[in-house]
Amino acid sequence: MAEFPSKNWTDYELLDSGNGEKLERFGAYVLARPEPKALWSKSLPQKEWDRLSHIRFKPGAGFGRAGKEDSGTWERLKKTDDQWYIRYNGEQEGLQLNLRLGLTAFKHVGVFPEQAPNWEYIYRAVRRMTPGGTVPKVLNLFAYTGAASLAAKAAGAEVTHLDSVRQVVTWARGNMESSGLDGIRWVVEDAMKFARREQRRGNRYQGIILDPPAYGHGPDGEKWKLDECLFEMLRTVSGILDEHGFVVLNLYSNGYSALLGETVMREAFGKGGKMESGELALLDRFGKALPLSIFVRLER
């Protein structure tokens, strides 16, 4: 099963893809970035890519190296702002987010648009829990700039947002404020350490979101390698998930499949509950589907 962002999201569009690149419009600006999964040919001629592009990412010395695969530099082809905002108007009433974009030292800009179906799912799952004044607790681990945290907060959850990088937590806080939300709990810490401590304390969450990287480091130098740590992380998280809670797992690592994700989730959380899995993808103007990550969602 593949899921795509709604066509009603007017501030984002995948214009074209191919030859190891993708051409995207984020609000007023068009960006050309590397995309190893775009194995086909471009539909537009290169001359048209050059005409449309405001900014192009040029891979650097670290490109292709584990942990450094997204490094490089940005080349401005037209006048652009260093930072700008896009609006996410969700498919559900009440899900409207303002998200700041910026040119990072890697090829990322602060938003992963293919994640929009997960935002919709999180918003919907939380809303189902809130009738009668219930305020579910949601934990977002490896939370980056926080669109998933904002979706949970907009739906009425008490949200804990955790990332090991202080700068992206600050970025997420700005997204919260620009979206007219407040009250998210911000944590700068190693995800495994935090989850273990919450388990010892007996704390429980009705929703847990995980988007772990292939490689990473905690604020005190803790090492994270997805292949070695994922199952242990999920087993730990299973101990802090409420008996009627939900989990969203997202994985970008090449070589991981939805079936693998389902198996590791079942082994970590047990056989009960409702599970769905698939790919998050983008569709360009020419109908080419670009799969970018796999998701697994579990509801107890």
User: Among 28-37, 156-165, 214-223, which is the least confidently predicted range?
Assistant: 214-223
- Among 223, 212, 258, 254, smallest CA distance to 64 is for 254
pLDDT at 68 over 80: no
CA-to-CA distance for 192 and 190, rounded, in angstroms? 6
Return mean pLDDT, the chain. 95
The pLDDT score that the predictor gives to residue 254 is: 73
Query: Does residue 152 have a pLDDT over 70?
Result: yes
| Domain 2-84: assigned CATH number | 2.60.40.1180
pLDDT > 60? residue 69: no
For the domain 111-299, what is the CATH code?
3.40.50.150
Dist CA 65 CA 58 (whole Å):
15
Name, in order, each residue with C-beta under 8 angstroms of 107's C-beta and a sequence gap of 6 or more.
Answer: 33, 34, 57, 59, 70, 72
Per-residue pLDDT band at 255 (split at 50, 70, 90): confident
DSSP annotation string for 239-295: TTEEEEEEEEEEE--TT--HHHHHHHHHHHH-S-SEEEEEEEEEE-TTS-EEEEEEE
Domain boundaries, the chain: 2-84, 111-299
Interatomic CA distance for residues 37 and 128, integer angstroms = 36
Lowest mean pLDDT among 21-30, 62-71, 161-170, 214-223: 62-71
